[in-house]
Copies of this chain bind each other. A is one copy, B any other.
Amino acid sequence: MPDPTPKVDVPILKDLTIDNITENVHRINSQTEDARLKYIMERLVTHLHDFARETRLSTSEWMAGIEFLTAVGKKCTDVRQEFILLSDTLGLSLLVDSIDHPKPASSTEGTVLGPYHTHDAHDQTIGSSISGDPDGTPLLCLCTVKSTSGKPIADAKIDIWETDSKGSYDVQYEDYNGNKPDGRAVLRSDDNGVFWFKAVVPVPYRIPDDGPVGALLDKLKRHPWRPSHMHFMFEKQGFDHLITALYLRGDPYETSDVVFGVKESLVVDLGTVTPEQAKKYGVKEGAKLLTYDFVLVSDEETRRLRDEEAMKAMKKLGRENMAIIGGLLVPDVD
CB–CB B56/A95 < 8 A: no
Interface: A333 (CB within 8 A): no
Copies, count = 2
- Nearest B residue to A66 via CB reads B83
A107 to B76, CA, bound (A): 44
A5 to B253, CA, bound (A): 11
Q: How far, in Å, is A3 (CB) from chain B's closest CB? A: 8
CB–CB A91/B25 < 8 A: yes
24 A-B contacts (beta carbon < 8 Å): A8-B225, A14-B255, A14-B263, A15-B264, A16-B91, A16-B94, A18-B95, A21-B260, A40-B55, A40-B57, A43-B51, A43-B54, A47-B50, A52-B92, A52-B95, A52-B96, A52-B99, A56-B99, A56-B329, A57-B100, A59-B101, A66-B81, A69-B73, A74-B76
Interface: A220 (CB within 8 A): yes
Q: Given B58, B71, B100, B328, which contacts A328 in the complex, CB threshold below 8 Å?
A: B58
- Nearest B residue to A87 via CB reads B66
Q: A10-B223, A32-B221, A95-B49 are in contact. Are A1 and B55 (CB under 8 A)?
A: no
CB–CB B225/A2 < 8 A: yes
* Among all A-B residue pairs, the 5 with the closest Cβ atoms: A73-B73, A47-B47, A25-B91, A31-B221, A12-B255
Sort chain A's interface into a size bin.
35 or more
CB–CB A70/B81 < 8 A: yes
A100 to B74, CA, bound (A): 28
CB–CB A260/B16 < 8 A: yes
CB–CB A254/B14 < 8 A: yes
Chain A 247-277 interface mask (CB, 8 Å, partner B; 1/0): 0000011111100101110000000000000
CB–CB A58/B100 < 8 A: yes
CB–CB A41/B260 < 8 A: no
Interface: A45 (CB within 8 A): yes
Q: Given B13, B37, B255, which contacts A262 in the complex, CB threshold below 8 Å?
A: B13
